[in-house]
Amino acid sequence: MSSFAEPSPLLLSVLAGVAESLRPLTGPAVNVQSVSPTETVLAPGWGEPSGQPPAFLVQADVDGQDFAFHVHEGGSAAEQSWRCAQALMDAAQEAVGSTPYPPCPGHRHPMTVERDGERVYWCCPGAPRVPVAPITQGF
């Protein structure tokens, strides 16, 4: 029995939404290249391996730099958006090096991702309740 699965439409739309949310910002855009099933699961707290949701390796690029990160299925669109944005942000920041990514308008630090119910958004770490750029719908 193969444990590999195709990514769900929800996961793909979440990834596209996270990448799209970065386009209006001043930093370079992220392009998602591929989403491949993987056995590697980086999901602490999900318990035994047999109970873990399907995981995927996302290959992407930002500003000409390739990078990759892991995502997994499970949870609501907001939960997936929050997880994917965090994973993408960490990997993209590493890829772009010392330039803060995604850049926080007017500041020298990267933005952070916050979640308020079903709303997930980029914001300044100094003002976590003020959405700067939406990631999910519903703003």
Interior/surface letters 43-55, b for 16+ CB within 10 angstroms, e for the rest: beeeeeeeeebbb
Which one of 60, 62, 92, 104 is in contact with Zn ion (CB under 5 A)?
A: 104
Contact call for residue 23 and Zn ion (CB under 5 A): no
The smaller minimum CB distance to Zn ion, of residues 23 and 107, is found at: 107
* Binding footprint of Zn ion, residue count (CB under 5 A): 3
Half-sphere exposure of 44 (CA within 13 A, CB side): 0
Q: Please, what is the minimum distance in Å from the beta carbon of residue 107 to Zn ion?
A: 3
Q: Please, what is the minimum distance in Å from the beta carbon of residue 137 to Zn ion?
A: 24
Note whether 100 and 112 are within 8 A (CB): no
Q: Please, what is the minimum distance in Å from the beta carbon of residue 73 to Zn ion?
A: 32
Tokens representing 7 are 């990514």
Which of the ranges 3-11, 72-80, 96-104, 128-136 carries the binding residues for Zn ion, by CB under 5 A? Answer: 96-104
Q: Please, what is the minimum distance in Å from the beta carbon of residue 20 to Zn ion?
A: 21
Distance CA 108, CA 127 (A): 14
Instruction: For the beta carbon of residue 116, count every other beta carbon within 10 angstroms.
Output: 13
Assign 57 to helix, strand or coil: strand
Contact call for residue 130 and Zn ion (CB under 5 A): no
Binding positions for Zn ion, 108-127, rule CB under 5 A:
124
Amino acid at position 117, single letter: G
Contact call for residue 107 and Zn ion (CB under 5 A): yes
Q: Which residues bind Zn ion (CB under 5 A)?
A: 104, 107, 124
